[in-house]
Structure 1
Amino acid sequence: MGGRIMKKWVGMVSLSALLLGGCTFGDSAEQQIAEVLQQMHTAEEGYRSVQSDMTSAEQEEYKLFEEILGLDQEQTDELTAKVEELQALVSKRKELLATERASMEEALAASDFTALDIEETEMELASEIDTAYEERFSTYDEVYANYEKLIELQENLYAEMVTEDVSIETIRELIQQVNAQNEVVQQTVESMNAKTEEFNATTDRVFETLKQEE
């Protein structure tokens, strides 16, 4: 019985260095778009802030799980205590996930360029940024749903581990389910990272185009 059950959460990259480096454009389209992007970046602070705690909880959970696998079946009191610790860590991760989700939804709501006082051609460029962000959020949606499923499988596994007379075969099967879902999470995290890179590339290209059109 064994196998890694925790995922490694990959953090997002920040918005374009151009926008965060103190550049100013007056009241130009660049400045107005940059202000919206800054609001989006600020809204995602909740997302960024929980990543370290999420990783720490995952690592502690995995360590505990490995310790449990080393216990004899007769060590029921120690098993129960450690599983309770696992379940507490799962609850913590669910709270962090909720904070993360709220932050991402706030950032999506902030990605609104429709009220800007800019030319039609400039609005078309801003729409490209908006579309790229919506695609990024869509992949986050997948990460979120798959991670929720991973947590659900882990909770089921932990509950079964303290069930009287549970078979080794049952635990092995549940671990396999967790590991398989972990792979799904990893794949969608990679997709989100790719969409984040595309979003940043789109932002850089739009600002370069606006600069050339001045």
Structure 2
Amino acid sequence: MLSKKAQLLFVILLFIAGCSILPREQSLLSALEKLVEYEEEFNKQQKSLVELEKKEKEIYDRVMSLGMKQFSEISRLSKEALKIIEKREKRIKKEYDSIQMAKKQLEAVKTEISLLSDQLIKEDASHLVGLLEKRYMTYDELYNYYQQALQLEIDLYRMFQNEQLTLEQLEQQVVKINSAYHQIKKANEQFNRYTVQYNEEKKALFEKLK
């Protein structure tokens, strides 16, 4: 028979051993919370991008309201717009990087799901992963369209610095930009639909895991 001291030591060792082994559900929750951190960085960049896009739109409207006789003012405004586009490029790069980190974290989430014994939670978590994969795929399309649109806008503002710019050249470039933003709008709408679904399913899963 164990002495009282030995029994106490045995209980302490069992407690320590138990604390060192996290339940699989807790491990999954931790992996998902890490993914959410990257998503928060994405959201932060989104707000900054919207502000910069608004500023550039104001400059664009101002330029379009001027005639080429006011070339010096158009040239000045165009250079200002190019600086804003440069800031947008930096923001979109940070946004892109946060999504790439979230993609990598999603692989860790998949590993945790494969180790679950609770089949109901496993099914819900697997469905969430599938939804996220579609969402990230849509983001990749959105990012590519956005990059194309940025380059077209850069070309436009450089064209504005050419005093020999014709109305036909301007119209052709504006058509290209509008077409690019039409693609962005469609991809963004799909991305937002996936985001709404993701947030709903994520909330439901977190409630089950906590």
Q: How does the TM-score come out when normalised to structure 2?
A: 0.79
TM-superposed CA distance for 1:210, in Å, is 7.5
Letter in 2 for 1:48: N
2:111 is aligned to: 114
Q: 1:52 aligns with which of 20, 36, 47?
A: 47
TM-superposed CA distance for 1:197, in Å, is 2.3
Superposed CA offset, 1:114-147 (max 9, x none): 1464217344443222221111111111111111
1:157 is aligned to: 156
Task: For 1:162 and 1:188, locate their aligned partners in 2 and report how far apart those are by CA, in whole Å.
Answer: 32
Letter in 2 for 1:118: L
Q: Which structure: larger Rg?
A: 2
Letter in 1 for 2:125: A
TM-superposed CA distance for 1:28, in Å, is 4.8
Superposition CA RMSD, Å: 2.4
Paired residues for 1:21-170 under 5 Å: 28-111=23-106, 112-115=109-112, 117-119=115-117, 121=119, 122-170=121-169
- Partner-residue secondary structure (3-state), 1:164: coil
Flag the structure with higher helix content. 2
5+ residue gaps, structure 1: 1-26
Task: For 2:59 and 2:203, locate their aligned partners in 1 and report how far apart those are by CA, in whole Å.
Answer: 44
Between 1 and 2, higher relative CO (CA 8 Å, sep ≥ 6) is seen in 1
5+ residue gaps, structure 2: 1-21
Contact 1:57 1:89 in 2 (8 A): yes
Task: For 2:197 and 2:94, locate their aligned partners in 1 and report how far apart those are by CA, in whole Å.
Answer: 25
Contact 1:30 1:207 in 2 (8 A): no
Superposed CA offset, 1:34-82 (max 9, x none): 2222111101222111122211111111111111112221222211111
Aligned residues: 186
- Partner-residue secondary structure (3-state), 1:166: coil
Task: For 1:210 and 1:99, locate their aligned partners in 2 and report how far apart those are by CA, in whole Å.
Answer: 31
1:21 is aligned to: none
Q: How does the TM-score come out when normalised to structure 1?
A: 0.77
Contact 1:36 1:113 in 2 (8 A): no
